[in-house]
A and B are shown apart, each in its own frame.
Chain A
């Protein structure tokens, strides 16, 4: 771990610059992707990536240069490139950062069980093959896949003010998916995949529930193929955590990103229906809604001690009792807006600059068991596992779809329905939150695929949530 640190420190110390501030962010990342599809192992894929971003501040103007050439000359060249660029754009710069505070913190952050060995490649492939082979033989089961992603990241941030921040993280992404088809219709059911990933060791496989799950996942895909369409009309909606994470992500996370509110993302990811003046005033949801930025749940995907700009990370309520309190804004956005934010300035790698991102964005548990949530619904539907997501550029009008639906009548779970979709408006939807599940319904989930930014970046984000009930939501099915 941190094998490059001594050399990086030495090379950083030898860099020469006239900039008032400069920093180096070195990222070393390895990845292994294994998959068994329809009982055949796909070719294993490995990657090794390493590079550094040099950032300078010259007369309050910042610019960067990213390079994979980590020699002394290569780093010096990148630093000079960044410095020249900062001077070049100075007459056109939007921001004057001369007064923005600079970190000099020193800290190491390491994922739980980071050094615990993981099983060999052969054992991992064996596990996936066994799961794949457990899918029952049925001509309607046309596709299935068990997969496992393993990512190791080591990052070192050094700056000319004396900061040295390092983190070493290991991420696992287990998954299983099965598709059933009758030639006309297809229905898929999955476990994990884009909805699940955690930091840590092989205990994550157990927490995901991958081993032994294939038979049930396949059975649910077949049940969906035979199920009627989701009926249309208003119903109470019980969302399980693997759909709640998408709901939180799209209609709380993105609209609270401060760089969107400041207009940086208007050309691509979009803007927000939330205004800077709403913080401290807007009743975002019902009084049951408590949303936190929480980097302290060790296994959650975006737990860390400092963000990529060197801001210390701590748990903060963004929404408490339904009231909007603070945005997802890192040090730069806080400097620009004058609002208190969180440590969420993040980059996807060495070749992209940090911007405001979601990290761990969670809903705090309430006080009702799942049975109580169901019992409290007279005419409703339970939905599990996101499969479709669409929301407007201000993050307001949304339509989401799930893999699995189950009707609820008079407090009891009834038949399974396929193609469960629902739509609403963020600014109103959270005010319909009528019940929040307790810790027994709470799951720590996350996705490796949150896209944003120009140039584009994909980062890992964590979402932990209990099951939740929303009153009178517009629900509908598919075409056939």
Chain B
């Protein structure tokens, strides 16, 4: 696929006219998608897709076009030529863009990971053997993913990796469920079996009589997957330079130094070592960016456009200024001490469907989902029916935060909207003194 991309870059470069500059992004994947219900295959398919995103710049004006690539060299060459022609016609219609900033450096980046993926037969047989007696529902998604970037200034980036993401839930006959995931770049049947065993073990607790809670404030432990939902909310504009400059960030008060989080909270955009490409969709090398240090705001994520608009220094953020590899520093709580330290309260494995009830106050609501337990004196009593929380981040990760776990989980995004995501987060669990349940 890299050769295909290089050919396209050469073609565009050759077609360029005097005074024009371009950037060309590339995204491709070959994916196997297998959905399961009741541990059987509900739907299966293979998808082969590739697209190029061409940006043409001339005389301070810019426009972009994305085209799907067919794989036929001549046809794709023609599609890019048509795109170039349309963009050329468009530019004179536009005013000069005051926020146009181009990275003119000729950076190079190359990452190739070709670990073999398992044969589907192997995965299906393993599942039959290990989970055939379970009510398993979920999806197995696997295959190579490629991202490329090139510019007329000589920048060239290539990222190619084989990866898999098996995301599933096990359901108890009483309707309670536990969620699990096995994802990465190197498949190991023993590791998968171990994840399945752990989930099966939790399923046992779900068979106990359900505990019904009344609204109120409860001591709670939020496992890393639950923290990932909270982190996901913060990634939704929280650290964005544009959102912070225009009153649309939930972390406005933190960045204005009108509020702070617990000194335990240190957050970084940790691209190095993650599975994300080393370059942004805008074609800038990504950087590791400290966002929150000991509860206080540090840098924000700044795209080239925001840098121009708000007179800041760009730091390799994507155009939408959302973290792709969020990392929350670990705390001091050992995993094996979680139940004991929780004492009496909620053990929350997952949260679901978060949204803001008051964005400037960073107040968010959401629900428990999958394997939420009531714990008394460090002992699991039984599953808790779905409960809604409504609480401020300044409480959950501020005044009410007691500790974070020493161990962290690397959570690979399961998102497949449009394409398989390369995003990830690296998070500990959190022990909080009070979580407000409302319904």
Contacts and interface: CB of A to CB of B under 8 A. Distances in A.
A69 B66 contact: no
Contact of A69 (B38, B70, B124, B365): B70
Interface in A81-114: 81-82, 85-86, 88-89, 91-95
Given A89-B34, A392-B353, A401-B357, A48 B94 contact: no
Interface string A383-413: 0000011111110110101000000000000
B123 to A, nearest CB: 10
Contact of A63 (B45, B69, B171, B358): B45
A181 B94 CA distance: 30
Contacts of B38: 94, 263
Interface stretch (B135-143, B262-270, B325-333): B135-143
A351 interface: yes
Contacts of B66: 45-49
A161 interface: no
Interface stretch (A36-44, A150-158, A369-377): A36-44
Could you tell me the dominant secondary structure of chain B's interface residues?
A: strand
Interface residues of B, number: 93
A160 interface: no
Nearest to B417: A456
Nearest to A179: B247
A95 B439 CA distance: 38
Nearest to A183: B256
Interface in B29-86: 31, 33-38, 40-51, 55, 62-72, 79, 83, 86
A133 interface: no
Given A267-B169, A390-B354, A393-B386, A48 B67 contact: yes
B19 to A, nearest CB: 17
A478 B357 contact: yes
A122 B92 CA distance: 10
B309 to A, nearest CB: 8
B417 A399 contact: no
A264 B68 CA distance: 30
Contacts of B248: 143, 179, 186, 188
Given A65-B45, A121-B93, A479 B65 contact: no
A69 B68 CA distance: 10
Interface in B136-178: 137-139, 141, 167-169, 171, 175, 177
A388 B49 contact: no
Contacts of A480: 358, 360-361
A299 B366 CA distance: 34
B369 A392 contact: yes
A456 B35 CA distance: 11
A185 interface: yes
A266 interface: yes
Contacts of A142: 245-247
B355 A389 contact: yes
A423 B72 CA distance: 53
Nearest to A355: B43
Nearest to A181: B247
Interface size class of A (residues with CB under 8 A): 35 or more
Contact of B68 (A51, A64, A266): A51
B97 interface: yes
A394 B386 contact: yes
Interface string A21-65: 000000000000000000011011111111101000000001111
Contacts of A353: 43, 45
A457 B48 CA distance: 16
Nearest to B132: A92
A455 interface: yes
A125 interface: yes
Of all A-B residue pairs in the complex, the 4 with the closest CB atoms, nearest first, are A478-B358, A181-B247, A186-B247, A143-B246
10 contacts: A46-B90, A66-B48, A69-B72, A92-B41, A94-B36, A181-B247, A390-B367, A392-B367, A399-B355, A478-B358
Interface of B: 31, 33-38, 40-51, 55, 62-72, 79, 83, 86-87, 90, 93-95, 97-100, 120-121, 124, 127-128, 137-139, 141, 167-169, 171, 175, 177, 179, 245-248, 252-253, 256, 258, 352-361, 363, 365-367, 369, 386, 388, 390, 392, 415-418, 420, 438-439
Given A46-B90, A65-B45, 8 more contacts: A48-B67, A69-B71, A120-B93, A184-B360, A355-B43, A390-B353, A401-B355, A423-B388
